[in-house]
Structure 1
Amino acid sequence: MDFHIFRFFHLILVAVFIFHDSWCYCDEAGNYSFMKNATSAPTLSHFDYIIIGGGTAGCALAATLSRDATVLVLERGGSPYDNPAATDIGNFANTLLDVTPNSWSQLFVSEDGVYNSRARVLGGGTVINAGFYSRGEEDFMKEAGWDREEVEAAYEWVEKKMVFEPPAKGWQSAFRDGLLEAGVSPNNGFTFGHINGTKFGGTIFDRDGHRHTAANLLEYANPNTIVVYLHASVHKILFTTTKGNQRPKAYGVIFEDASGVVHKAELATQDSMNEVILSAGAIASPQLLMLSGVGPAAHLKAYGVNPVILDNPMVGQGMADNPMNPVFIPSPEPVEVSLVQAVGITKFGSYIEGGSGLSLSISLTRSFLDGVLKLVKKTKFPTHLISKFFEPLDLRLNVTAKAGVIIQKTDGPFSRGHLELRNTDPNDNPSVTFNYYQDPEDLNKCVEGISTIMKVIESKGYSKYKYDGVSARGLLDIILALPTNLRARHITSAFDLKQYCKDTVMTIYHYHGGCQLGKVVDNDYKVLGVDALRVIDGSTFLKSPGTNPQATTMMLGRYMGQKILQKRTIIRGKEEEETVKTEL
């Protein structure tokens, strides 16, 4: 066949895959035909791309790559379609705080003494988060070196499938009015953009309160070229044996199913462009690199990781988590159940967000406390701190009634920490330190953020949802009395907002770093020093993009999937052209 005719038909097929967005080989419950339990996996399989992690970035990446390649997705958790009611807005707190074995939310306690969660479900954090959707800021995209038009197209690809405009009801509207009165202006209305002032952003909850997740992006996938294995725990990335100065090259992975049976998946050998891609998140991606022999050599040897494939001391470094400080406001009026919709993007680097009609505490369930008790034994925090904080509480309390919560999230942050192995079990939590508020600039942002929240609470616009005679300062004392973390309190007679920020710090679940751009991966997200291996997820971020990172993380999966396919098409075209010339 004439080469140009061959290329013509090839491009037609690619175009069909790209523009035919109505693939959905799934039943009414949302179960895809290509989604299987890992117990059904063969002992050995071969794919063009092996993606570790079917989360926020991984689903978008897999759906895109499947248009012109065979793709295997290995997800350690289950399917969000197994219990769709659990993802509805009214069950947000219950699902996030369900830390029982095999739940979608895996509890971990950082070495800083702050409770946190990791998603273990297809769709990742989009299954358990507060659902807010807002694009990243322009400076973030410039620093990453992304093409603006392609970024825009990738965001729109995500938004078409799963993003909605929130209803802006009573409490959220009053919160918006309070923000404007507190000086967080102008009023930018509804927008996905990251703009200084007050706005309503997007949400992944539809008008009926049903959550849409990154797993929905798999509706874009070619069902004939993709396989998703659930409950597939990846233990190790496999590399070719290094000889002399030859660079190590990833060629496959070892994973285990729920029955403990070990499987191997390898890259198809007929194509030099095939790759293993880590999209396991900011905790698991650096952890798996280390367990596979890529990381600080001395640390890996101390834990018996053998062989050490590449000594890179930057793996696990640069860990950061945006600190959050909340204020709960009991309301004399009924409030709607709402998660983050209105947001104040301040000029001083604090983001003010809020929700209503949800639980007033994150720590009032027995299973959550049991989980904390188990994990605290692995940290530097003594168990007597647990008793000190939790024994006075009535653990049967279930406060879900009339109340709002307003939080400040510190932009950046500048404070950085690190991740280290605790053991060689990939299913266990590694040791993570975030060093909250270590940098004075972060602390200053918190102080201004809390001060702004106090102005919102005292504003005329918000007054309907606050009891008369209750001061904003008095509400802060309530937080000091709650076990928001395991850190020792430093209460003095003189109230100090800086100390308040340190004492009541919580997570907003926007942790990132560990495989940072320029330190662990290059600008194409290829792991430095090895071949056929990339990391595409939030572990590569130098900071958390926008007010909330999920929009940019999903966009990144789509964006890089497109980039990879474009490069693949170019290289394949050159190889085919050379083959035709040779045959002639």
Structure 2
Amino acid sequence: MSFRCKKFIWAFIAGILFFHGLCDSEKVPHYKFVKEAISAPAISFYDYIVIGGGTSGCSLAATLTQGAKVLVLERGGSPYTRPNKTNIYNFVNTLSDTSPTSFSQQFISTDGVLNARARVLGGGSVLNAGFYTRASTRYIKEAGWNETLVMESYEWVEKKVAFEPPLLQWQSAVKDGLLEVGVLPDNGFTYDHLEGTKVGGTIFDREGHRHTAADLLEYANPRRISVYLHATVQRILFRYRKGRARPQAYGVIFKDAHGFMHRALLSKRGRNEIILSAGALGSPQLLMLSGIGPAYHLHAHGINVVLDLPMVGQGMADNPMNILVIPSPKPVEVSLIQVVGITDFGSYIEAASGLSFGYSWGHTLHGIFELLSNQTGQPTMVPPEATGSAAETINSFFNASLKGGVILEKIMGPLSTGFLELLNTNPNDNPLVTFNYFKNPEDLRRCVQGMETIIGVINSKAFSKYRYPNVPIQALIDLVLQLPLNLRPRHPTAAISLEQYCIDTVLTIWHYHGGCQVDRVVDQNYKVLGVDSLRVVDGSTFYKSPGTNPQATVMMLGRYMGKKILQKRVSRSKREKR
């Protein structure tokens, strides 16, 4: 293969890898209750304090306002004030932005995989590929959720944010290729999680505008909610009630953008609650910073132990993603994840296509690595010569025309898990996370079968018009192996072994979860074990990622638990009046 051809394919890969879904918001809601934290009073009182205005926090808070006074503390800004940041053509810029007010905060796991967590009202729904799909019936039953309320909660979310995507030619070819290689049956368009090939929902409307969890705040009672932006919670406050041995959460301390501290307190003890919805990284991190977690680890950071809860931060998992890129001999549409093949062996096959932007990703990649390598206490994982080489390699490709698509596979679950630890006691810094990709051999087996399925789709008759007949699969494998996709070592056998290829080229699909799991850190009602007036409602409670994309279920969970909490509140109020 000629150098020119390699250069073309590399350019496409460098761009498409990070094209996992952003677009403008069609409208800018004028939420009068959304304000900067610098305007917050020094002390305020609420029935519920929701920490994190993300994918679950927005739906949870909006629901709770139907029967209580609610405060939402979001450490990031608003996606509505800078619509250019969420434009589809600024995806790489937004995702890789390392400024203090960016919508995403970069981190590299100790496994050497570059990742990002949301830092914006609406959470990950502002940064993701927009794919909308419900959890399976089996998942819902295993979680012990009320199936009727789950369906009602999904539908509540879908009225605001979910749409049927327009399926164009490239995605159609992927769909037909999946069916041709036996990922059956053809389930058509559906939000449901069904084995076979389907077209899922999207949070992009027909005009291509992104709808996010922040849009669910339109459901809120504006007289009963306050949302403060750039409000970074420092810790949760605890005290002991008379005659009770258990600590009780009664308030939080948060810092505004000017560095001033504020206190938000619960208005009535024993009835109201603080609810952590800070995500799979933020929720276990804040529990530890507040004195709840493994005692030995808290002592090591000089944190007073409120409760020794060893499983905080345990069970962390990230669905590994591996890819093959297909340069196309004909133009392709810009598309995000629309089609998914749900296999019978535990791998999900998805696809995206087309991308054009004028942005120096290589320079930014170098900046991200440099920023994270210099972070206090961060293990040194990025040699300076590696970051310089990555920048030079990627930047040299950006003048090429990008034309083609990527087909990826994601592991169900996964079964491999790791852990989260504090890097330091600064809540603005990311914690240290180890995901242990492919530690469980079953995950690796699923990856290999997934890659074999992708190869089958590429070689299918249905997909033939979108691939060069003279470019063998081995050439695509070899080229991916030469790109600086992560900081993991490359092994010579990766070119001939799909097992080693999976290990060496693993990427994140941003579906990390765990750290505050049910029956380990919280009970079946998401109340933190061993303390009063504190819950966790977000993806940190999951043992595995729901569906082929978790955002629908995370938004649903906020609504679901909001309804459950209000039902309990009403029931208690009736008893008190008797």
Compute the TM-score of the two structures, normalised by the length of structure 1.
Answer: 0.91
Match of 2:283 among 282, 285, 304: 285
How far did residue 392 of structure 1 move? 4.9
Q: Which moved further from structure 2: 473-482 or 51-60?
A: 473-482
What secondary structure does 1:393 align onto?
Answer: helix
Alpha-carbon distance between aligned partners in 2 of 1:443 and 1:493, rounded to the nearest angstrom: 13
2:326 alignment counterpart: 329
1:411 alignment counterpart: 412
How far did residue 366 of structure 1 move? 1.4
What secondary structure does 1:298 align onto?
Answer: helix
How far did residue 241 of structure 1 move? 4.2
2:367 alignment counterpart: 370
1:19 alignment counterpart: none
Contact 1:389–1:482 under 8 Å retained in 2: no
2:296 alignment counterpart: 298
Matching of residues 63-82 of structure 1 within 5 Å: 63-82=62-81
Alpha-carbon distance between aligned partners in 2 of 1:300 and 1:80, rounded to the nearest angstrom: 35
Q: Percent of aligned positions with the same letter in both sequences?
A: 61
1:447-477 C-alpha deviation (Å, 9 max, x unpaired): 0000000011111111111112112222111
Q: Counterpart of 1:453 in structure 2: which amino acid?
A: I
How far did residue 78 of structure 1 move? 0.3
How far did residue 38 of structure 1 move? 0.3
What secondary structure does 2:453 align onto?
Answer: helix
What secondary structure does 1:143 align onto?
Answer: helix
Alpha-carbon distance between aligned partners in 2 of 1:407 and 1:335, rounded to the nearest angstrom: 17
How far did residue 83 of structure 1 move? 1.8
Alpha-carbon distance between aligned partners in 2 of 1:164 and 1:147, rounded to the nearest angstrom: 25
Determine if the alignment matches structure 1 residue 155 to structure 2 residue 123: no
2:43 alignment counterpart: 44
Q: Which moved further from structure 2: 252-261 or 396-405?
A: 396-405
1:413-451 C-alpha deviation (Å, 9 max, x unpaired): 010100000100001011100000010000000000000
2:403 alignment counterpart: 402
How far did residue 373 of structure 1 move? 1.8
What secondary structure does 1:444 align onto?
Answer: helix
Matching of residues 305-320 of structure 1 within 5 Å: 305-306=303-304, 308-320=305-317
Determine if the alignment matches structure 1 residue 120 to structure 2 residue 113: no
Contact 2:102–2:119 under 8 Å retained in 1: yes
Distance 1:389 1:455, change over 3 A: farther
Aligned residue pairs, count: 549
1:581 alignment counterpart: none
1:300-343 C-alpha deviation (Å, 9 max, x unpaired): 0100112x100011000000000000111111111111100001
What secondary structure does 2:470 align onto?
Answer: coil
1:13 alignment counterpart: none
How far did residue 387 of structure 1 move? 4.1
1:24 alignment counterpart: none
Matching of residues 262-277 of structure 1 within 5 Å: 262-269=261-268, 272-277=270-275
Q: Counterpart of 2:364 in structure 1: which amino acid?
A: S
2:516 alignment counterpart: 515
How far did residue 286 of structure 1 move? 0.1
Distance 1:385 1:135, change over 3 A: farther
1:55-110 C-alpha deviation (Å, 9 max, x unpaired): 00000000000011000000000000012243233433332232333110110000
Alpha-carbon distance between aligned partners in 1 of 2:473 and 2:105, rounded to the nearest angstrom: 34
Distance 1:385 1:458, change over 3 A: farther
Matching of residues 7-406 of structure 1 within 5 Å: 29-241=28-240, 246-269=245-268, 272-306=270-304, 308-358=305-355, 364-377=361-374, 378-384=378-384, 386-387=386-387, 389-390=389-390, 392-395=392-395, 397-398=397-398, 401-406=402-407
Matching of residues 559-578 of structure 1 within 5 Å: 559-577=560-578
Alpha-carbon distance between aligned partners in 2 of 1:505 and 1:427, rounded to the nearest angstrom: 27
2:548 alignment counterpart: 547
2:477 alignment counterpart: 476
Alpha-carbon distance between aligned partners in 2 of 1:313 and 1:58, rounded to the nearest angstrom: 25
What secondary structure does 1:445 align onto?
Answer: helix
Distance 1:298 1:363, change over 3 A: farther
Alpha-carbon distance between aligned partners in 2 of 1:363 and 1:386, rounded to the nearest angstrom: 17
Distance 1:83 1:335, change over 3 A: same
Contact 2:382–2:487 under 8 Å retained in 1: no
Alpha-carbon distance between aligned partners in 1 of 2:281 and 2:359, rounded to the nearest angstrom: 22
What secondary structure does 1:500 align onto?
Answer: helix
How far did residue 359 of structure 1 move? 6.2
Alpha-carbon distance between aligned partners in 1 of 2:62 and 2:131, rounded to the nearest angstrom: 22
Contact 1:385–1:486 under 8 Å retained in 2: no
Contact 1:99–1:368 under 8 Å retained in 2: no
Alpha-carbon distance between aligned partners in 2 of 1:243 and 1:336, rounded to the nearest angstrom: 65
Contact 2:362–2:392 under 8 Å retained in 1: no
Alpha-carbon distance between aligned partners in 2 of 1:407 and 1:566, rounded to the nearest angstrom: 42
Alpha-carbon distance between aligned partners in 2 of 1:137 and 1:528, rounded to the nearest angstrom: 28
What secondary structure does 1:224 align onto?
Answer: helix
Determine if the alignment matches structure 1 residue 436 to structure 2 residue 433: no
Alpha-carbon distance between aligned partners in 2 of 1:458 and 1:127, rounded to the nearest angstrom: 35
Contact 1:363–1:483 under 8 Å retained in 2: no
Alpha-carbon distance between aligned partners in 2 of 1:257 and 1:415, rounded to the nearest angstrom: 38
Q: Counterpart of 1:311 in structure 2: which amino acid?
A: D
Q: Counterpart of 2:213 in structure 1: which amino acid?
A: A
1:262-310 C-alpha deviation (Å, 9 max, x unpaired): 00000002x632000000000010000000000000100100112x100
How far did residue 358 of structure 1 move? 2.5
How far did residue 367 of structure 1 move? 2.2
1:469-506 C-alpha deviation (Å, 9 max, x unpaired): 11222211111011110001111387111000000000
Q: Which moved further from structure 2: 485-494 or 133-142?
A: 485-494
Alpha-carbon distance between aligned partners in 1 of 2:308 and 2:572, rounded to the nearest angstrom: 31
Matching of residues 416-495 of structure 1 within 5 Å: 416-492=417-493, 495=496
Distance 1:493 1:513, change over 3 A: closer
How far did residue 361 of structure 1 move? 13
Alpha-carbon distance between aligned partners in 1 of 2:417 and 2:535, rounded to the nearest angstrom: 23
Q: Counterpart of 1:264 in structure 2: which amino acid?
A: R
Contact 1:360–1:403 under 8 Å retained in 2: no
Alpha-carbon distance between aligned partners in 2 of 1:376 and 1:350, rounded to the nearest angstrom: 33
Contact 2:123–2:213 under 8 Å retained in 1: yes
What secondary structure does 1:174 align onto?
Answer: helix
What secondary structure does 1:564 align onto?
Answer: helix
Q: Counterpart of 1:99 in structure 2: which amino acid?
A: T
Alpha-carbon distance between aligned partners in 1 of 2:356 and 2:457, rounded to the nearest angstrom: 21
Distance 1:509 1:29, change over 3 A: same
Q: Counterpart of 2:363 in structure 1: which amino acid?
A: R
Alpha-carbon distance between aligned partners in 1 of 2:449 and 2:29, rounded to the nearest angstrom: 45
Contact 1:87–1:210 under 8 Å retained in 2: no
Alpha-carbon distance between aligned partners in 1 of 2:41 and 2:313, rounded to the nearest angstrom: 33
How far did residue 181 of structure 1 move? 1.1
Alpha-carbon distance between aligned partners in 1 of 2:522 and 2:389, rounded to the nearest angstrom: 42
Contact 2:481–2:495 under 8 Å retained in 1: no
Instruction: Name structure 2 gaps, 5 residues minimum.
Output: 1-25
Q: Counterpart of 2:549 in structure 1: which amino acid?
A: N
Contact 2:494–2:501 under 8 Å retained in 1: no
Contact 2:409–2:447 under 8 Å retained in 1: yes
Alpha-carbon distance between aligned partners in 2 of 1:64 and 1:562, rounded to the nearest angstrom: 7
Alpha-carbon distance between aligned partners in 2 of 1:262 and 1:368, rounded to the nearest angstrom: 34
Alpha-carbon distance between aligned partners in 1 of 2:494 and 2:101, rounded to the nearest angstrom: 45
2:11 alignment counterpart: none
Distance 1:493 1:485, change over 3 A: closer
Alpha-carbon distance between aligned partners in 1 of 2:357 and 2:227, rounded to the nearest angstrom: 38
Alpha-carbon distance between aligned partners in 2 of 1:494 and 1:421, rounded to the nearest angstrom: 37
2:20 alignment counterpart: none
